[in-house]
Amino acid sequence: MRGDSFLRGESSTTTAQEGAMTIPFQVRVQAAVVRGAYALPRPLRRLLAGAPVRRDGQELALDAQLLLRLQRLSGEQLVSPRGVAHSRAALDVGRHLVSGPPIEPVGTRDVAIPVAYGDLPATLYTPAGLDGPSGLLVFFHGGGWVVGSRASHDNTARFLAQRAGVRVLSVEYRLAPEHVFPSAVDDALAAFDFAHAKAGDLGVDPARIAVGGDSAGGNLAAVTAQLATRRGGPAPAFQLLFYPATDATRHRRSRQLFADGFFLTSAHMDWFSGHYAPEGVDRADPRLSPLLADDLSGLPPVYIATAGFDPLRDEGEAYARRLSEAGVTVALSRQPDLVHGYVNFLGIGHRFREATAEAAGALRLALSPR
């Protein structure tokens, strides 16, 4: 592949009207119902959501509780009993209900990352008015290494790009069960190396490249930071980890407390890990369980966000503690009233956007010109 051929097409923006034209009518009706529920006066939203939910000294945000109520009424789940393909399709539909219209003005460009097996697809997001070399976030989407895509996290990438004032490279890494561990890890590291090598062509400063992601994507970002740092040479300048999976070997207290009823369940986690790390995989491998790495010193500064009502909460916070003990600069931010997945719910209510904006602020500060 020629060195100048990885950028495909012209920079463009997608208007909300153009995006709506591609959404099936029934889904648009459902989205209108969801928006209508969130537009109700607070007393009516509380009535619809039910009595406040309190657990472990925390109270669930009304925005989050209403979302869970609407999810139960719809009968949809994060993981479909009909299997992987249906789960992926359901997530693609569900994103139209909660992520909101495309955030503008943000330019997008397709990028092909050359790897041993061909090209790894990615999308480069550039917020309007960004001049000169900028910071870059290499972003890995969540979805348990099995579901999710650049499309499912499109507005998340747009939001982070716009609010942080950086470019975002969202990577379409290979998914399980078609490609089991460590395929996604190999893709994530290749994407970071590409971003650093092609920084000038991407319009970014090679000294200001961060890695980040949510859930399984947070896991991949953490692993990429470890691998890049330990080998020597180019390493990320910063890590942005939303409720990352960090330890596949044990269940902590939060997994028991929030095993069911809060979007991501313990059963979902078993389903995801069973596809990504099937029998025979060493789940203590730091490329799967970054919390278990022998040495965490020397890693780049990190912002770790956890959600109070999330089975993954405690392992994310355990990773933050280990990093801090190793001398790494850590900003740990528990969102005590939210559930797993909140960076995808930017189109409903206010609380999800508020929490994600805090992380974008941390990214802006970390990648600002020195």
Give SS3 for 39: helix
Give catalytic residues, as residue numbers: 215, 310, 340
Handedness of CA 308, 354, 161, 21 (dihedral sign): positive
For strands 58-59 and 54-55, give the pairing. Answer: antiparallel
Q: Spell out, as residue ranges, where the chain has pLDDT lower than 70.
A: 1-22
Looking at residue 82, what is its pLDDT?
Answer: 85
Residues 265 and 151: their CA atoms lie apart, in Å, by: 23
All structural domains of the chain, each given as residue ranges with its CATH number in brackets, are 7-16+96-366 (3.40.50.1820)
Looking at residue 236, what is its pLDDT?
Answer: 98
Q: How many CB atoms sit inside 10 A of residue 44's CB? A: 11
Give SS3 for 358: helix
Structure tokens, 173 = 């890494």
Say if CB 123 and CB 320 are below 8 A apart: no
Looking at residue 7, what is its pLDDT?
Answer: 55
Identify the H or E element spanning 35.
helix 25-39
Structure tokens, 155 = 């507005």
Residues 232 and 225: their CA atoms lie apart, in Å, by: 11
Alpha helices in 77-215 (DSSP H): 84-98, 154-164, 183-197, 199-202
Q: Go through 129-148 and write b for each residue having 16 or more CB atoms within 10 A of its CB, e for each that does not.
A: ebeebbbbbbbbbbbbbbbb
Looking at residue 11, what is its pLDDT?
Answer: 45
Say if CB 237 and CB 208 are below 8 A apart: yes
Looking at residue 1, what is its pLDDT?
Answer: 35
